[in-house]
């Protein structure tokens, strides 16, 4: 400090206004640089809660005070726990001249199984020293379905059920399962849906497919039922458990906070929740556990060619050609149609094909439903008869177990007649020649034969190409092509360097396609999609004219931007009317196609007025 004061006195630059300001700023920072201000570094770990339900997530926070590591710490891998890094957050506080900085690294922890978990002590290197945290305990409880009385009373905002059409199956049988999501009437939408767990030991579970929504009334509450369908294939025998199936869902529900005072048609009218009156709720839902008895296939009367197919099937077969030579190929088509696990259906070995050379069959599966329960599997196989003594293509058989009839069945296609000719080399054709007498002398063969004894007509040679006008005109084609390419390139560069022009063209194309969609949606009486398209097109056109993002365009743009720019009142009224019509349509949907079609000319007139204005 003394050296600094002596430097200020002895150095003329230090006594200048700039030097004095630098000196005062340094003096002001001295209290912050004193050792008493700097606190010792610390490292702590915490969970936002220590007990949770399977299907939920908790937040792990690693907090550094007084320093931070160069790289975020990495928690160790823990079985059945998924830990994902979210990001850091920083905080600086000043209390009585004391400065403290805090950096927190956040992680999401998602368990895959219920049980007790321990997150071990973590180590981080800060300022050349190593800091450690205390171990953390996490208890994960099993998810459970709400009690039946809570469901029957209609008091649950949302719940899930697992519906199984059959509780008794056979080994290898394919069935369906329906996961039903019930949402009470005040639920406005689903923001997130995640299947947390679908325990089904002893089953192969297919993909989830959403079915048609329906309405259900429980007590005095009306629920929307969203079915999710999947397939289950039994691969193990005995009593098997399915569930509890757990899902995590974020719902948008009507807020309980209402404006107080007079009547508000957007909040107090039955069935409306109003703008900004929705809140999100995250729920973890679970079904009851279901038990399915899987029976082994009967051991009596098993067909010799049975290879594990379970279901209900029919079979057709065709082959061609049927008139051929030994060694020529025959293509056999076998089609197996019905309900069951078509992917695992295979043709058994046919015992009557000893006189044929066979090749591996190719298969193709065509399903007729979204779950793949029903369809047709086609086998295409090439066989070659080896002997002309073969008179027929052997019969084709296929055996399966029918769980509905609880018995084995064998399908057989009869033998198909064949005409097989023996293969052999074709005899060479005999050429008959006229007999000649031994006394006849052949004429002498000439040594030299004239190729062209006559020269033919003499024609005048045409002038060279360089002297012909059409050839000279042809030389201008490359020049014209180069000039066209240069003009085209210049237009492309102009278009690339002018974002306003590029956006104007994109919006014009979007408007053309959008008007076609509006007419189609009006004809189909699709009110929701109609007004969603109308708002989107209006935002795109106004955003292009005002050079603003389309997502920022609302009704407030009329007073904030259009009126200050001198837009005519008639145009402002047209735009305002369109915005208000779209807003009101959310709460009082238009029901007829004529009413929807009547809005399109008003919209086209407003677009024309906006496009003509110079904003």
Average pLDDT over residues 25-50: 61
CATH of 148-294, one of 3.30.1490, 2.60.40, 1.10.4160, 2.50.20: 2.60.40
The whole-number pLDDT of residue 265 equals 42
**Which residues sit opposite 103 in a β-bridge?**
64, 90
Q: What is the pLDDT of residues 481-490, one digit of tens each?
A: 999 999 988 8
The whole-number pLDDT of residue 96 equals 65
CA quadruple 480, 482, 484, 489: dihedral, nearest 10 = -170
Asked whether the beta carbons of 53 and 145 are under 8 A apart, the reply is: no
> Which H/E stretch holds residue 609?
helix 593-612
Within 13 Å and on the Cβ side, how many CA atoms surround 578? 31
Percent residues over pLDDT 90 in the chain: 6
Main-chain dihedrals φ then ψ at residue 236, nearest 5 degrees: -155, 150
pTM exceeds 0.75, yes or no = no
* Distance, CA of 514 to CA of 317 (rounded, Å): 51
Q: What is the pLDDT of residues 326-379, one digit of tens each?
A: 888 889 889 999 988 888 788 887 777 777 888 888 898 988 888 888 899 998
Confidence of residue 36 (pLDDT cuts 50, 70, 90): very low
What is the CA angle 566-610-573, rounded to 5? 65
Residue indicated by tokens 């305990």: 137
What is the CA angle 74-76-77, rounded to 5? 120
| pLDDT over 70 (residue 3) | no
Question: Of the candidates 582, 559, 577, 574, which has an alpha carbon nearest to the alpha carbon of residue 612?
Answer: 574
Average per-residue pLDDT for the chain: 78
Asked whether the beta carbons of 119 and 60 are under 8 A apart, the reply is: yes
Q: What is the pLDDT of residues 407-450, one digit of tens each?
A: 898 898 888 888 888 876 444 444 444 444 444 555 665 556 55
Main-chain dihedrals φ then ψ at residue 136, nearest 5 degrees: -120, 145
DSSP string, 181-202: EEEETTEEEEEEEEEEE--BTT
The whole-number pLDDT of residue 273 equals 42
The whole-number pLDDT of residue 426 equals 43
Average pLDDT over residues 172-179: 89
The whole-number pLDDT of residue 261 equals 41
Main-chain dihedrals φ then ψ at residue 544, nearest 5 degrees: -70, -40
Same fold, 148-294 and 302-421: yes
* Distance, CA of 542 to CA of 562 (rounded, Å): 9
The whole-number pLDDT of residue 443 equals 62
Asked whether the beta carbons of 349 and 308 are under 8 A apart, the reply is: no
Average pLDDT over residues 155-164: 86
The whole-number pLDDT of residue 283 equals 83
Average pLDDT over residues 116-129: 85
The whole-number pLDDT of residue 531 equals 85
The whole-number pLDDT of residue 314 equals 92
**Range scoring the smallest mean pLDDT among 33-42, 188-197, 383-392:** 33-42
302-421 maps to which CATH number?
A: 2.60.40
State the Rg of the chain over Cα. Answer: 42
* Distance, CA of 54 to CA of 94 (rounded, Å): 41
Q: Where are the domains of the chain?
A: 2-31, 42-141, 148-294, 302-421, 499-612
Q: What is the pLDDT of residues 488-500, one digit of tens each?
A: 888 888 777 778 7
Asked whether the beta carbons of 313 and 411 are under 8 A apart, the reply is: yes
> Which H/E stretch holds residue 578?
helix 569-585
Distance linking the first and last C-alpha atoms of the chain: 63
Q: Which fold has domain 42-141?
A: Immunoglobulin-like (2.60.40)
Q: What is the pLDDT of residues 212-266, one digit of tens each?
A: 888 888 888 889 999 999 998 888 888 998 888 888 888 888 765 543 344 344 4
Question: Cis peptide leading into 453, omega within 30 of 0?
Answer: no
Asked whether the beta carbons of 203 and 232 are under 8 A apart, the reply is: yes
| pLDDT over 70 (residue 21) | no
Percent residues over pLDDT 70 in the chain: 80
Neighbours of 474 (CB within 10 A): 11
> 398, exposed or middle or buried, with CB in 10 Å at 0-12, 13-18, 19+?
buried
| pLDDT over 70 (residue 34) | no
Question: Of the candidates 150, 206, 458, 491, which has an alpha carbon nearest to the alpha carbon of residue 341?
Answer: 206
**Which residues sit opposite 234 in a β-bridge?**
203
């Amino acid at each position: 400090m003394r050296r600094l004061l002596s430097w200020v006195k002895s150095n003329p630059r230090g006594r200048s206004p700039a030097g004095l300001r630098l000196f005062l700023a340094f003096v002001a920072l001295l209290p912050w640089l004193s050792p008493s201000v700097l606190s010792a570094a610390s490292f702590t770990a915490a969970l936002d809660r220590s007990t949770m339900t399977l299907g939920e997530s908790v937040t792990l926070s690693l907090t550094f005070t007084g320093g931070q590591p160069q790289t975020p710490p990495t928690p160790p891998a823990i079985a059945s726990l998924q830990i994902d890094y979210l990001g850091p957050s920083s905080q600086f506080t000043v209390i009585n001249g004391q400065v403290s900085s805090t950096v927190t690294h956040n992680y999401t922890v998602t368990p895959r199984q219920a049980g007790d978990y321990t997150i071990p002590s973590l180590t981080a290197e800060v300022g050349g020293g190593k800091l450690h945290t205390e171990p953390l305990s996490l208890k994960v409880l099993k998810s459970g379905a709400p009690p039946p009385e809570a469901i029957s009373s209609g008091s649950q905002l949302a719940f899930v059920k697992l519906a199984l059409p059959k509780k008794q199956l056979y080994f290898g049988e394919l069935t369906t399962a329906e996961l039903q999501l019930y949402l009470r009437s005040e639920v406005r939408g689903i923001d997130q849906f995640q299947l947390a767990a679908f325990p089904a030991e002893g089953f192969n579970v297919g993909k989830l497919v959403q079915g048609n929504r329906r309405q259900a009334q429980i007590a005095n509450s009306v629920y929307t039922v969203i079915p999710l369908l999947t397939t289950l294939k039994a691969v193990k025998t005995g009593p098997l458990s399915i569930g509890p199936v757990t899902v995590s869902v974020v719902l948008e529900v009507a807020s309980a906070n209402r404006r107080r005072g007079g009547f508000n048609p957007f909040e107090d009218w039955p069935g409306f929740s109003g703008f900004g009156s929705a809140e999100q709720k995250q729920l973890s839902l679970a079904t009851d556990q279901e038990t399915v008895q899987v029976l082994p296939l009967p051991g009596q009367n098993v067909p010799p060619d049975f290879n594990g197919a379970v279901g209900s099937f029919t079979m057709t077969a065709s082959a061609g050609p049927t008139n051929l030579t030994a060694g020529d190929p025959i293509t056999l088509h076998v089609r197996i149609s019905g309900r069951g696990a078509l992917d695992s259906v295979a043709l058994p070995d046919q015992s009557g094909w000893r006189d044929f050379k066979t090749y591996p069959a190719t298969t193709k599966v065509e399903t007729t439903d979204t779950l793949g329960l029903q369809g047709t599997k086609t086998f295409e196989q090439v066989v070659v008869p080896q002997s002309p003594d073969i008179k027929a293509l052997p019969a084709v058989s296929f055996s399966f177990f029918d769980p509905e009839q609880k018995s084995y069945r064998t399908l057989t296609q009869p033998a198909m007649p064949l005409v097989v000719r023996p293969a052999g080399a074709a005899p060479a054709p005999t050429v008959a020649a006229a007999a000649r007498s031994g006394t006849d002398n052949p004429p002498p063969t000439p040594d030299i034969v004239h190729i062209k004894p006559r020269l033919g007509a003499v024609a005048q040679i045409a002038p060279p190409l360089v002297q012909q006008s059409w050839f000279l005109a042809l030389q201008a084609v490359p020049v014209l092509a180069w000039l066209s390419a240069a003009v085209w390139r210049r237009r492309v560069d102009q278009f690339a360097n002018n974002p306003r022009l590029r956006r104007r063209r994109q919006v014009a194309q979007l408007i053309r396609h959008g008007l076609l969609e509006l007419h189609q949606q009006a004809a189909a009486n699709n009110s929701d999609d109609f007004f969603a398209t109308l708002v989107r097109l209006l935002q795109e056109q106004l955003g292009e004219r005002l050079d603003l993002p389309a997502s920022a365009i609302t009704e407030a743009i009329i007073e904030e931007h259009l009126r200050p720019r001198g837009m005519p009142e008639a145009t402002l009224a047209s735009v305002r009317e369109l915005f208000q019509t779209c807003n009101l349509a959310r709460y009082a949907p238009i029901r007829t196609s004529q009413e929807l079609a009547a809005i399109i000319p008003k919209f086209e007139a407003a677009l024309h007025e906006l496009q003509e204005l110079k904003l």
